[in-house]
Amino acid sequence: MQFRGAHALVTGANRGLGSHFVEALLTRGAERVYAAARRIDTLTGAVEYHGGRVVPVQLDVTDEETVRRLADDLPDVDIVVSNAGQACKFAVLQEQAEQEFRSALEVNFFGPLGLVRAFAPHLARHRGGILFVQSLAALIISRSSPIYSASKAAAMMLATGVRAELRADGVTVTSTFPGFIDTDMTTGLDIPKASPRSVADRSLDAFAAGRSTVFPDRLAELVENAVTQDMAAVLDDPQAVMTRLVRAFRLDPTG
């Protein structure tokens, strides 16, 4: 997967990890990055600094018709970074409103699904690729927000299916599973956090190498090892596993 001369679409590009994907793609030589967000007026910094190489586009990934129209307007896209996501408030399952679960699924599962359906013909024609931004919560259920974990687990399985379907077309499909990233979403959490730029860079490195999965920070690597070595424990008592991993991570956050 080559970045030089590429035309990339990044969803959720106005802040946090998404904005760093925009910068990282430009640094690697992308000719144009379509920076997408629900509100186009929030896409200011990169647009002002990089001029015509960054094109702001309005996109709500839950609006299927808008996604299809954007794909019609952008036939040159050969890389999609499916980064837009929705967190869920902390609550146990019995106390969470059903609408919150449905809303999380709309953004975290149906949003990426719509992107794939709309842009897959372009990616196949260009032999491009799609990078899915997943979460460790897809692998070890979040005690504070199991609804979020469920939506991300669904997105993980979606990416696996997409990879199998598009392999014959030469389309690269990579899932990245970051842990805690130093963005607005983790404000107030007292835990070491990975820099968003390092997560973006390590994710794109794996994408360029054609890898199917990447664990782009230290906590993610610890989870990868746990899942690989003892999946039975992860499924039986995920909170005990995660407590142990976070304790080890706090003691040695750099590895």
Residue 25 CB contacts under 8 Å (≥ 6 apart), including other chains: 3, 6, 8, 10, 33, 79, 81, 204
Architecture of domain 7-217: 3-Layer(aba) Sandwich (3.40)
Query: How far, in Å, CA of 90 to CA of 146, rounded?
Result: 9
pLDDT tens-digit readout, 198-239: 999 999 999 999 999 999 999 999 999 999 998 998 888 888
Q: Show which residues are catalytic.
A: 148
pTM assigned to the model: 0.92
pLDDT tens-digit readout, 86-108: 887 665 666 667 788 899 999 99
Structure tokens at 183: 């963005």
How would you write the pLDDT of the chain (255 residues) with one tens digit per residue? Answer: 789 999 999 999 988 899 999 999 999 999 999 999 988 888 876 666 677 899 999 999 999 999 999 999 999 999 999 999 988 766 566 666 778 889 999 999 999 999 999 999 999 999 999 999 999 999 998 777 788 899 999 999 999 999 999 999 999 999 999 998 987 666 666 788 899 999 999 999 999 999 999 999 999 999 999 999 989 988 888 888 888 998 888 888 887
- Backbone φ and ψ for 103, nearest 5 degrees, come out as -65, -45
- Report the pLDDT value the prediction gives residue 45, as an integer from 0 to 100: 66
Is-contact 67 118, C-beta < 8 A?
A: yes
Lay out the sheet containing 79-82: strands in order across: 54-58, 32-37, 7-10, 79-82, 129-133, 172-176, 213-214
Strands 129-133 and 79-82: parallel
- List the beta bridge partners of residue 133: 176
- List the beta bridge partners of residue 56: 35
DSSP 8-state secondary structure symbol assigned to residue 106? I
Query: How far, in Å, CA of 193 to CA of 182, rounded?
Result: 5
Nearest to 78 by CA among 197, 170, 142, 154: 170
Domain boundaries, the chain: 7-217
* Distance (Å) of CA 125 to CA 50, 170, 171, 177: 28, 9, 9, 27
CA torsion angle for 177, 178, 184, 189 (degrees, to 10)? 120
Q: Is 242 exposed, middle or buried (0-12, 13-18, 19+ CB in 10 A)?
A: buried
Nearest to 20 by CA among 184, 141, 144, 136: 184
